[in-house]
Structure 1
């Protein structure tokens, strides 16, 4: 058994940051599931990566994600080559006046997520709606052309 200081020992000089561990785990999962092509903007430490649900039926692929406090004007959705990028910004400002002082607080959050789709879609027919902080993107699936078999002479 080895004795001494470990990274988790309370007597070390650096403090453990649970959010750093969560960011590292998210990056590992992104690499595992093919989301490693994210831009530098999406890898920023202040950017939240919302969880997504992808549902596929006979005609559509439906993506759902929670974007609390975000208005539809602040959401940017891009689809290219069966890859979806969702970016959103939110900012809130509160002002409170109490006896003798004024307090003003501002918060700013950024959400970003990119992922591959399980099937080819018709990009120009995709639609999205935002209700109660839940973004739903509906993308019709593209018809797969039948393969033509070439006979060898």
Structure 2
């Protein structure tokens, strides 16, 4: 006679508060998407572009993609150790048909704020936008030299 395999019972599943928070956040996000679509909320979409920060010897080089944005529409702010990049673009199309005018507008905003890994200075900073890629060069602040010890005779 063969005995049936034993089933192990590890007890009730453990409650994970972080999983509950994640699920609640997903439900809230879905509610906002269902009832307040981003296309209509604020008149356009707001994108959060990815940012690359390269730490070179004496400077930080920050790059981000801003497709279709002119340099006049980009604003860069440096507040202590926070770098803020915002940009906007808008397109208007106007056509005249049978005595009336129809206008179509589309606006897109980009916004990103990121904490920098080290202190930088505003003097000597440069920014350029080329082929939809914004490159910001920020010189690092030189830290004061460490105190030198004096030996006692």
Same fold? TM cut 0.5: yes
| Cα drift, residue 144 of structure 1 | 1.2
Over 3 Å counting, the alpha-carbon distance change for 1:50 and 1:149 in structure 2 is same
* Structure 2 Cα separation of the partners of residues 146 and 19 of structure 1: 52
Name 1:125's counterpart in structure 2.
Answer: 124
CA contact (8 A) 2:45 2:107 kept: no
- Unpaired runs of 5+ residues, structure 2, are 1-26, 34-43
| Cα drift, residue 84 of structure 1 | 0.5
| Cα drift, residue 77 of structure 1 | 0.3
Q: Secondary structure at the match of 1:143?
A: coil
Name 1:73's counterpart in structure 2.
Answer: 72
Name 2:58's counterpart in structure 1.
Answer: 59
Name 1:112's counterpart in structure 2.
Answer: 111
Name 1:144's counterpart in structure 2.
Answer: 143
| Cα drift, residue 149 of structure 1 | 6.7
Over 3 Å counting, the alpha-carbon distance change for 1:150 and 1:47 in structure 2 is farther
* Structure 1 Cα separation of the partners of residues 58 and 119 of structure 2: 11
Q: Secondary structure at the match of 2:90?
A: strand
Tell me how many residue pairs correspond in the alignment.
Answer: 113
| Cα drift, residue 119 of structure 1 | 1.2
Alpha carbon RMSD of aligned pairs, Å? Answer: 2.9
Matches within 5 A, 1:98-109: 104-109=103-108
Name 1:87's counterpart in structure 2.
Answer: 86
| Cα drift, residue 150 of structure 1 | 8.3
CA contact (8 A) 2:86 2:109 kept: yes
CA contact (8 A) 1:127 1:138 kept: yes
| Cα drift, residue 118 of structure 1 | 0.9
Q: Report the TM-score when normalising by structure 2.
A: 0.62
1:8-46 alpha-carbon deviations (Å, 9 max, x no partner): xxxxxx9x94995xxxxxxxxxxxxxxxxxxxxxxxx94
CA contact (8 A) 1:65 1:136 kept: yes
